[in-house]
Amino acid sequence: MAMLTAIATVISMVVFLGICWWAWSAHRQAANLESALLPFALPDETTTRPTTSPDGELRS
């Protein structure tokens, strides 16, 4: 049982290091820069507030 746990640990570490290597590799630099700017590309949600008319209908 200990051997199975050790093998699973080694496989998990190799997969983790592989994902880190892939994510930080030079050929992903452009994609990482584009992804870093995604939160700033969203429209502002606070610019318009819904209001209610005198008859109680919701307007934006």
33, two tokens: 């820069």
pTM of the model: 0.56
CB atoms within 10 A of CB 43: 6
Model confidence over 2-60: pLDDT tens digits?
999 999 999 999 999 999 999 999 999 999 999 999 988 877 766 666 666 667 666 65
Residue 59: per-residue pLDDT: 63
What's the pLDDT score for residue 50? 61
Question: DSSP letter at 44?
Answer: P
Q: In whole angstroms, what is the distance from residue 54 CA to residue 60 CA? A: 14
Residue 58's H or E segment, with its range, is strand 58-59
